[in-house]
Amino acid sequence: MYDLKISDVSKKFGDVNALRDINLDVEENELFGVIGPDGSGKTTLFRIAATLLVQDTGKVKLSGLDNIKDYKKIREIIGYMPGRFSLYPDLTVEENLKFYATVFGTTVKENYDIIKDVYLHLEPFKKRRAGKLSGGMKQKLALCCALVHKPKFLILDEPTTGVDPVSRNEFWEILRNLKSIGMTVIVSTPYMDEAKLCDRVTLMQNGCILSVQTPAEIIEGFGKKIFSIRTDALTDTLKFLNEYKYTENVFLYGDVIHYIDIRKEIKVDILTQYLRTNELKNITIKEIEPSVEDCFLTLMREK
């Protein structure tokens, strides 16, 4: 069973509560996402799971192994990719990969089938030094190095941060493939739109976990009406809606405004009416299906 059980884990850095009573179960062969803004405690949680940090209280069991007592055994079955690029910038792609393969007592050849997917993207640059790769390539190389010893459990800390949208898509495709060959993958990201690509996601904020659900469950459980609003003066509209006494949450979403009302029986007409009285013109209001992002932004607001 390659699963992860985190129970009542807390961690303090000086006066800062980085993690407060975290409880989390990641099941075997799951692609599990931890979504949260910077400073929410994702990295601390991942470092504890990867045996690089020791929690103050609580227990962490990875595949039934204790993260403090059995850290050596855990290190053999996990592949960890830190948020910060941490390969040797002065070694080439090939040399980095070879080094990590050898220190894990294996060879690139032996586990080539696992890394093949990722390595094909890197192959044209294999003689290039890692420090000279683009952001997306660096992350792919880091993933390769984390995979080269055929881990059962992957812990990826913000692998797509600072990576262009195309590479981000490629990266997620790779993660889905890894899941399909039986790996358990736990990945963190500050991008809420990536939540829908996970099997289950959790939202982290200020060291707390807000909910653990599948993306579909999150949307289903939202239970509020959400409107997309477009006018010719978006900033003013945002201001008026923020002052509106029935507003639950309102935020800019691309070039439109998403608005959530606290009333169950709200109609487009009532909103149009309100905005008209504030002398806004060209108002288009549509009721829409909420996205995971809408749900998370509202959830974070509630807490």
Partner 1 sequence: MMTIKYILQKEFLQIFRSKAMIPIIFLMPLFQLLILANAATYEIKNISFCVVDYDYSNNSREFVSKFYATNYFLLSGYYTSVKEAEEELKTNKSRLIIHIPKDFEKDLLLNKNTKVQFLINAENANAAGLIMNYSMSIVQAFNKQIITETVNYNTSNLQSGIYITYSNWFNNLLNYKTYMVPGILVALVTLIGLFLSGMNIVKEKETGTIEQINVSPIKKYQFIIGKLLPFWIIALIELAFGIILGIIIFNVPLIGNPLLIFLVASVYLLLILGIGLFISTITETQQQAMFIAWFIMIIFLLLGGIFTPVENMPDWAQTIDIFNPIAHFSKMIRMIMLKGSGLRDIGESLMLIGLYAIVMLFLATIRYRKKT
Residues in the chain: 303
* Binder of partner 1 out of 56, 64, 84, 120 (CB under 8 A): 84
* Binder of partner 1 out of 22, 24, 48, 50 (CB under 8 A): 50
Tokens for 182? 């039986």
Provide the minimum distance between the beta carbon of 104 and partner 1 in the complex, in angstroms, as a whole number: 6
51 binds partner 1 (CB under 8 A): yes
162 binds partner 1 (CB under 8 A): no
Are 10 and 57 in contact by the 8 Å Cβ rule? The answer is yes
CA–CA gap between residue 1 and residue 108 (Å, rounded): 26
* Binder of partner 1 out of 2, 80, 222, 296 (CB under 8 A): 80
77 binds partner 1 (CB under 8 A): no
* Binder of partner 1 out of 3, 99, 236, 272 (CB under 8 A): 99
Output 67 or 249, the one with its CB closest to partner 1: 67
33 binds partner 1 (CB under 8 A): no
- Contacts (CB under 8 A) with partner 1, residues 102-121: 102-105
Provide the minimum distance between the beta carbon of 122 and partner 1 in the complex, in angstroms, as a whole number: 17
Provide the minimum distance between the beta carbon of 129 and partner 1 in the complex, in angstroms, as a whole number: 9
95 binds partner 1 (CB under 8 A): yes
72 binds partner 1 (CB under 8 A): yes
* Binder of partner 1 out of 122, 144, 145, 183 (CB under 8 A): 145
Provide the minimum distance between the beta carbon of 130 and partner 1 in the complex, in angstroms, as a whole number: 10
Q: How many CB atoms lie within 10 A of CB 19?
A: 27
Q: Which residue has the tokens 């080439």?
A: 92
Provide the minimum distance between the beta carbon of 84 and partner 1 in the complex, in angstroms, as a whole number: 5
85 binds partner 1 (CB under 8 A): yes
What sign has the CA pseudo-torsion 297, 298, 299, 303? positive
In the chain, DSSP assigns E strands to 4-13, 16-26, 31-35, 57-62, 65-66, 78-81, 153-156, 184-189, 200-205, 208-213, 226-230, 247-253, 256-261, 284-288
Provide the minimum distance between the beta carbon of 29 and partner 1 in the complex, in angstroms, as a whole number: 21
Output 96 or 249, the one with its CB closest to partner 1: 96
Three-state secondary structure call for residue 104: coil
143 binds partner 1 (CB under 8 A): no
Q: How many CB atoms lie within 10 A of CB 184?
A: 26
52 binds partner 1 (CB under 8 A): yes
CA–CA gap between residue 244 and residue 128 (Å, rounded): 57
Largest Cα separation within the chain, whole Å, is 72
Are 287 and 227 in contact by the 8 Å Cβ rule? The answer is yes
CA–CA gap between residue 45 and residue 157 (Å, rounded): 10
Residue type, 191: Y
| Contact set with partner 1 (CB under 8 A) | 50-52, 72, 75-76, 78, 80, 82, 84-91, 95, 99-100, 102-105, 145
